[in-house]
Structure 1
Amino acid sequence: MSSPTPARSGVHPRRVTRRPRRWASASIAALALVLTACSGSETTSAPAPSSPSSPSTELGATAPAAGELVGTAMGWSADAVPGVEQSVIGTWMARDSWENLALGQWLTDNPTYVAYVAEHPDGAADIGVPLVPHDSDTPFDDLLREAASGARDADYRSMGTRLAAASPATVYARVWWEMNLRPMSDGIDRELFKAAWAHAVPLIREGFAAGARPGQTLSVVFSPNADGADYEEFYPGDDLVDLMALDAYGQRWGSSTPSDAELLALLGQQLDRFTQFARSHGKGVAMAEWGNVADKADGGDEQMQGLGDFPPYVALVLDWAAREEAEYLVYFNSPDAGVGQTLQDTPQSLSMLQGAWSSAVR
């Protein structure tokens, strides 16, 4: 989702280092969701790609066996998910001006995030980090040229330092998250994007290292939208990315409500494509934004079309996380930005998530 202008209270209206622990095999209701190890900017060997999933068989919401889930952190952005322990929080930084980028604005203005960091200093945060202030009126390519030219080097170092100061022990920085989301992506020159990323990321890492506490780590995350333009065109290079995280909501874009089978087939294809891309670059995977989308009926308007309370989507994501050893999952639990509902509005899906946590064999 593309985040609107940040508010001053509540959540952004958008939108530890430990050894992995192994969990016993279980049904989808027994999927365990626990905090995994983070290695900072160091990349470990990714698991081999699995065979493609078969979403057409997953209409029953109880279908896929989970197998073993290795250390996947579970959390949310926006409203709390009752009955689920939060081991990673999702939030975003402001992207309206260079000044606010340098200050890390929004991190310290978000009371929910500030409280989480205070209560969980050894926890993890998934943070949307702007590459340029693309909520300003300046054309995207002009901003990217400015970034690549070196004119904003001090701002990027400052951003990295602020990330360290305002964050828990493990930081996942999703640089220009959903850069491939249309129509925004139509105004972005891919080569300029990669040049700006290549210039900015080392400076962000440098600033973070200068301000980091002992044991605090930063992972730079490449995070496209599953339903956007070809994200392969934006990929900046393996040495500039530590992890890949997908934003994949339970929806398709269109004017009519999809069938159960259509939606699951689409999502299965999106997950398979993303996983294969990440593995081809030796990267681990995560799900930075996910959530069921409201059933908006056939209104004739092009918009996000979901199925409301649709547990098979939750089962699909949880099974993918178990199979691919996803590093973390962050549920976007807000009705904003076209989602139209929260988990509290979808009791069957909420129950599945709660069961996945409470049934874990520790």
Structure 2
Amino acid sequence: MSRRGRWTARVCVGTGVAALLAAGCAPAPAPQGPASGGSSGTGIAVGAYLHYGSPGVDRMQELSRWLGGTELRAGHTYLPGDTWENIEGAPDSLRSWARWRKEGSDRLFVLNVPMLEGNEAGVPDDRVAELLRAGAHGEYDDHFRRLAERLVDLGIPDTVIVLGWEMNGSNYTHRCRPDPESWKQYWRRIVVAMRSVEGERFRFDFAPNRGGDAIAWTTCYPGDDVVDIVGMDSYDQPPGDSFDEQVTQPYGLQQQVDFAKAHGKQISYPEWGLFRNGDNPDYMLQMLAWIAEHKPLYQSITDYCPHGVWQCGQNPRSAEVFREFLSASADRGRRAASRHRP
């Protein structure tokens, strides 16, 4: 999704939820328990994108209370891709995220990092190809070393880096399609540059859009030695009108799981949520069940309108499913799944 949505969209009012879901919801079979991180630090790290800056940190605690005390172990934000200075980690809000991360030894800090400045500037394909070739030849290495140094200095050397996300689409300057070979080489240079900084323990998350989009995401995969996690951004929208189609479509959810297994990688869902089909509790429950079954390293719902459930009052039925499924009480989560079976 675009930075415009993340940075400038007005958050919808309403943090409460409506009464129980209307009858007729047809969820997937119930998993054995909610996809909650739990206080022990085992299992899936649950998170949400709540705001890019320091307010996002404050809202983590509020969302946890709304979920009945469920521990949120994945803190997720984005670096703006407007200037190289910001890509180097200039935003002061990183200090707030660093404090949050260091308050719990089992927490994950997840940071989306653009690969090029002017990342939403509508740059044409021929210019994108030139920029990717420059990156592949090392022109931008210093920017990423500075980012790595900034993160290490802040005490968060184990940050999960979602680098060049949704590269298989057409929205971003850091897209892959104009020159896939240069894109892959550029990714490799960035990883090598960041790993050269003393004290780093970064993990790099390769996270395309679900589906074929502008180019098959497998064409952009830069290699097992420079990827730690195979992620996927997946919203309730085409391609895939039903959840089953989102699973089975080419380059969909099942192919992500199979690809990661074949390459010996963990999976993740850095972005997911509602979208084209409105308040859709069936989708919400099936996606949560998918996550619980396949056990990604972390999952992070995009929680602003139209995608979200806590900060967006327009999706009350989906909010109720999300809240009950991820409640701190495992029994309550199982009841949520079984209650809404047809």
2:316 is matched with 347
Contact 1:248 / 1:287 at 8 angstroms: preserved in 2? yes
2:178 is matched with 188
Evaluate the alpha carbon distance shift between residue 183 and residue 154 of structure 1 in structure 2; reply closer, same or farther with a 3 A threshold: closer
- Work out the CA distance in 2 between the residues paired with 1:163 and 1:111: 9
Evaluate the alpha carbon distance shift between residue 98 and residue 158 of structure 1 in structure 2; reply closer, same or farther with a 3 A threshold: same
2:247 is matched with 268
Contact 2:80 / 2:114 at 8 angstroms: preserved in 1? yes
1:152, CA displacement in angstroms?
A: 2.4
1:319 is matched with 289
Contact 1:134 / 1:140 at 8 angstroms: preserved in 2? no
SS of 1:161 mapped into structure 2: helix
Which of 225, 229, 232 matches 2:218? 232
Any idea what the Cα deviations from partners look like across 1:76-125, whole Å, max 9, x if unmatched? 012643324321111111212333322x133x246874663475575212
2:75 is matched with 89
**Paired letter, 1:252:** P
Structure 1 segments unaligned to the other structure (5+ residues): 12-57, 294-304
Any idea what the Cα deviations from partners look like across 1:241-270, whole Å, max 9, x if unmatched? 0011110011226xxxx9xxx322222222
SS of 2:159 mapped into structure 1: strand
TM-score after normalising by structure 1: 0.69
**Paired letter, 2:50:** A
1:331 is matched with 301
2:19 is matched with none
1:353, CA displacement in angstroms?
A: 2.3
2:44 is matched with 72
Evaluate the alpha carbon distance shift between residue 119 and residue 251 of structure 1 in structure 2; reply closer, same or farther with a 3 A threshold: same
Contact 1:140 / 1:187 at 8 angstroms: preserved in 2? no
Evaluate the alpha carbon distance shift between residue 167 and residue 221 of structure 1 in structure 2; reply closer, same or farther with a 3 A threshold: farther
Structure 2 segments unaligned to the other structure (5+ residues): 12-23, 36-41, 52-58, 332-342
1:358, CA displacement in angstroms?
A: 2.4
1:245 is matched with 231
Asked whether 1:4 is paired with 2:4, we answer yes
Contact 2:157 / 2:199 at 8 angstroms: preserved in 1? no
1:98 is matched with 84
Evaluate the alpha carbon distance shift between residue 10 and residue 100 of structure 1 in structure 2; reply closer, same or farther with a 3 A threshold: farther
2:137 is matched with 149
- Work out the CA distance in 2 between the residues paired with 1:278 and 1:122: 23
2:160 is matched with 172
Contact 2:110 / 2:160 at 8 angstroms: preserved in 1? yes
**Paired letter, 1:312:** D
SS of 2:166 mapped into structure 1: coil
2:263 is matched with 281
**Paired letter, 1:318:** L
SS of 1:251 mapped into structure 2: coil
- Work out the CA distance in 2 between the residues paired with 1:186 and 1:9: 27
- Work out the CA distance in 2 between the residues paired with 1:3 and 1:169: 25
TM-score after normalising by structure 2: 0.73
Which of 144, 149, 153 matches 1:161? 149
